[in-house]
Amino acid sequence: MPYWGADDAVAELRRALSNRHVQADRLRYRNVLLRVIRRMTQGVDVSGVFMEMVKASATGDIVQKKLVYLYMCTYASLQPDLALLAINTLCKDCSDPNPMVRGLALRSMCSLRMPGIQEYIQQPVLNGLRDKASYVRRVAVLGCAKMQKLQGDTEVDGVLVNELYSLLRDQDPIVVVNCLRALEEILRREGGVVINKPIAHHLLKRMSDLDQWGQSEVLAFLLRYKPRSEEELFDILSLLDGSLKSTSPSVVMAATKLFLVLAKDFPQVQTDVLVRVKGPLLAACTSESRELCFAALCHVRQILGSLPGHFSSHYKKFFCSYSEPHYIKCQKMEVLCELVNDENVQQVLEELKSYCTDVSVELAQGAIFAIGSIARTYTEQCVGILTELLGLKQEHITSAVVQAFRDLVWLCPQCTEAVCQALPSCEEAMQDSEGKQALIWLLGVHGERVPNAPYVLEDFVENVRSETFPAVKMELLTALVRLFLFRPAECQDILGRLLYYCIEEETDMVVRDRGLFYYRLLQAGVEEAKQVLCSPKSDPSLGLLEDQAERPVNKWASEFNTLVPIYGKARWAVVTANWATEPRCGGFPFAAPMTAGTESLISEENKEVLQVHSDSAGLTLIPKAHLTAEQFEKTWLSLDVNCQQALPWHGAAHPDTIQTALQVVHIQTIAMSKAGAQPWKAYLSAQDESGCLFLTELLLETENSDMQVSVKQSEERTEALQHFISVLRTVMGTVLGLKS
């Protein structure tokens, strides 16, 4: 919001800029320009001095030019007519003998956000690409991306793309990196820049010339190249060896991911790389940068999923410091749980025990849950610590301990006796819903071992009218019915009062229905009730073994050095589910024509020609991968849905048009409903080069409704799934466009 008195300030600045005496004194004139910029950054609308600032651009003082060009880039969109007056000055400066002036002028021209500017900047940008000064070439390369953005959806200039590909061999390393960034932006609809063998090996040889940010960028782009032979693969890995020793965490992480992806068929190489990256990761885990520390801890946990105990000898590095934020402490506790072994269990438990009395309730409970997790292996020691914590009589500590006991009893039945001995008097310090549910469950399942179990449940029944959580009431119903089956004399009266309340007075229909169910079940007989409520439970070791199962490195190699380890796969899928996906298909080698890798889809109805691409950056679908209907059905039933999305759709689905479009991008049609069927369904399959299957169901309930898309993968590869969804959305969007 402009400040009060802004009009007076602008009028004063206009008078100062128009004063001939001020203009004659270079320092005074520069100070006035600085005042204009200062006002602009403070939120004052100084667009009223635009004409005076345009006049100030005709100068040989480079500092003055920087100030004026900064002003014009800010206000050009508000004063487009007056901004055109500065174009001649900018074009003239693009031919100035001083390369700094040329680069500054070119950068400013490309930053003017005004209609029609692209026709003025095209030639200066092309001239800048061939300039002798590296600074001008750097600016010109980025200007190409800005120019393409200004042109909107118009066709990409093939000459410009070829010029940028040739500049990948420029002597200046920053020009090379800028070319990669510009090509990625310009060709994003075609899949971005293509990395073939000549480009890949050239970039690898230039790695030593790049700064840390440039190396990180290049390593990310090299993920798109697949070596043609084992010999070439190990040559590339040898060239990348130096990047693993970099002092920059970003370079080390990018190089590690490239190693893991390229060496997917060599598990020993992957293990050796993860051993080498241990040092840089540990250094990042103790970094003063909290963001870097948190990201490193998340990647440590990812590695531990494949290499349990990989960091065990350095477990003290993951002890929490008092000054660390809560989210880092929680991550460190999770890591400590995975590093526990016979040698360090005592030290780790003592450390976690000290966190249990932290002033942060969430951190204290997290430490208790961590001890409960370790108790699956070291039961006796952990149960002793948890029982000792109950003596503190703190509400949040007691609640967390009881929840830990509940999970522990389920997974490790051998500790039931010790837990039952610790339960008496826990109800006195229990207020939260989760703690109450855990205690009631324990008393219901193992109440025959707790002498005062009926009387503890009776206290809950007495206060059931004031209970605000329906889940507690439902847990109380189940626990009391179970306990009644073993101790009927002590529980009969209590259960009768609870059932009467739930059926006659309870307003929550779920609780009332549960009460009616148990009432009718008991009417059927005690033996029938025992069959329902006391039937054998599932083997708890199944879940334990599943949690401890090692994940192969190839399962998460493509997710390394991304946001997936930080968010978690499930949460990241939710975050990206509604992102607008851009078509990422095809690409261009050195000096490739603009139509490389594309096919035309011709609509027989409208005779329109649209471009649909057969490949996706990071995903190549095999054209001759056929799956029978029986194989599809068997595989479909054995997999879980990895992604569900809704695509905008209107009108009916035309099977012939959809099937033709899908064939172009190598997606096979297994079965498809006839035109006009409601609901309309289609089942599709595709396979990439690595053998990963993508099975898809399309469902259109009625006309003019969203088309529901469900995709299943034979291998969990998030990046490949995103690329496949992008291709599928592009094809269906093309079909919808042809219809309309």
Domains and CATH numbers, the chain: 1-154 (1.25.10.10), 444-549 (no CATH), 598-739 (3.30.310.10)
Q: Give the residue from 477, 471, 470, 467 showing the smallest Cα distance to 431.
A: 467
pLDDT at 332: 95
CA distance 314 to 335: 11
Residue 579, SS3 per DSSP = coil
Residue 347 has pLDDT above 80, yes or no: yes
- Look-up of token digits 């099977």: 655
Q: Which residues are 684's β-sheet partners?
A: 669, 696
Residue 475 has pLDDT above 90, yes or no: yes
Give backbone dihedrals phi and psi of 166, rounded to 5 degrees, phi first.
-65, -30
Pick left, alpha or beta for residue 171 (phi over 0 → left; psi -120 to 50 → alpha; otherwise beta): alpha
Residue 405 has pLDDT above 90, yes or no: yes
Residue 610 has pLDDT above 70, yes or no: no
Residue 596 has pLDDT above 80, yes or no: no
pLDDT at 6: 59
Residues 620-650: pLDDT tens digits? Answer: 787 766 778 888 888 888 888 888 888 878 7
> What residues contact 442, with CB distance under 8 A and at least 6 apart?
402, 405, 406, 409, 419, 420, 423, 450
Instruction: For the beta carbon of residue 134, count every other beta carbon within 10 angstroms.
Output: 16
- Say which amino acid occupies 700: L
pLDDT tier, 672 (very low <50, low <70, confident <90, very high otherwise): confident
pLDDT at 173: 93
pLDDT tier, 537 (very low <50, low <70, confident <90, very high otherwise): low
pLDDT at 255: 95
pLDDT at 69: 87
pLDDT at 581: 40
Give backbone dihedrals phi and psi of 682, rounded to 5 degrees, phi first.
-150, 145
Give backbone dihedrals phi and psi of 599, rounded to 5 degrees, phi first.
-135, 155
Q: From residue 530, give the alpha-carbon distance in Å to each of 337, 406, 447, 475, 533.
A: 38, 22, 15, 17, 5
Residues 246-286: pLDDT tens digits? Answer: 999 999 999 999 999 999 999 999 999 999 999 999 999 99
- N-terminal to C-terminal alpha carbon distance within the chain: 45
Instruction: For the beta carbon of residue 656, count every other beta carbon within 10 angstroms.
Output: 11
Q: Exposure pattern of 277-286 as b/e (b: 16+ CB <10 Å)? A: bbebbeebbe
Residue 598 has pLDDT above 50, yes or no: no
pLDDT tier, 618 (very low <50, low <70, confident <90, very high otherwise): low
Q: What is the mean pLDDT of residues 47-73?
A: 85
Residue 174 has pLDDT above 80, yes or no: yes
pLDDT at 539: 61
Q: What is the mean pLDDT of residues 488-514?
A: 92
Q: From residue 518, give the alpha-carbon distance in Å to each of 329, 478, 499, 523, 530.
A: 45, 8, 8, 9, 12
For residue 500 the two structure tokens come to 């009467």
- Say which amino acid occupies 99: P
Residues 98-128: pLDDT tens digits? Answer: 999 999 999 988 888 777 787 888 889 999 9
Q: From residue 92, give the alpha-carbon distance in Å to each of 66, 102, 276.
A: 15, 9, 54
Percentage of the chain modeled with pLDDT above 70? 90
